[in-house]
Amino acid sequence: GGVAPPAAAGGRVRVLTGNPHLAVERAERRFGFELVRLYDCGTLDTRRLAVEIRDPRVVAVYSQTLSYTDGISDDLEAILAIVEAENERRSGVGLPLVTLVNDSCLAFCVLVHNDGRGGRGCLRLLDLAGARCTTPLIVTLDAHKHLGVDKGVSSCVGSPGTLSHLAGSVRVGAQPTKGMLVRALADLLLVGVDGYTRIYRELAEQMRRGEAAGEA
């Protein structure tokens, strides 16, 4: 699984997306892959995705939860189903799997409230995928925007084995210092999942009260 060399069909490897963050366009120029935009009203067009993903040059699909450009979220459940079906087909014929990347850099609050419980929708890709998912998954989150860590510290999590493809790869930009990483880990351990969840639920409640007061 994971990102693979160009397929036998020749040409640059391709990454399919909707209307992505400008950083994805910079990555296209820096690393030389072909970025294919398949968007409909700002979101990744799943009908076109189901067609384009069968190209053997496609190595990744880039999806967004609360995008920078439009402030909306892609249909993760539908996208995952399409990518998973393609990867099951590829597994049967010995082709490299397609990695599904979910950019959640702005979306920690969205992830807290869209957990799939109590009739709510789920925007948590790893939860949607489950244990039997064939598709390699990567989720990014800007920790410095949400988790109280130093400016510039981001986070990247993935399904088992996925992040190993990043070992020894070219990195762009300044790397965080050891002190920054120690402070980030201390924040995560001291606050914990329950603590962050409580903070963001309290924030939403305060916003509801403010909205009600403004409308009164």
Supply the mean pLDDT for the chain: 86
Instruction: Give the other-Cβ count within 10 Å of 180's Cβ.
Output: 16
Residue 112 has phi, psi (to 5 degrees) of: -65, -45
Residue 161, pLDDT > 50, answer yes
92 pLDDT band (50/70/90 cuts)?
A: very high
Q: Which amino acid is at 74?
A: D
pLDDT tens per residue across span 39-52: 898 899 999 999 99
Selection from 8-12, 42-46, 70-74 with the highest mean pLDDT: 42-46
- List the one residue out of 41, 2, 43, 47 whose CA is nearest residue 20: 43
CA distance 73 to 21: 13
CA distance 37 to 34: 10
Percentage of residues in the chain with pLDDT exceeding 70? Answer: 92
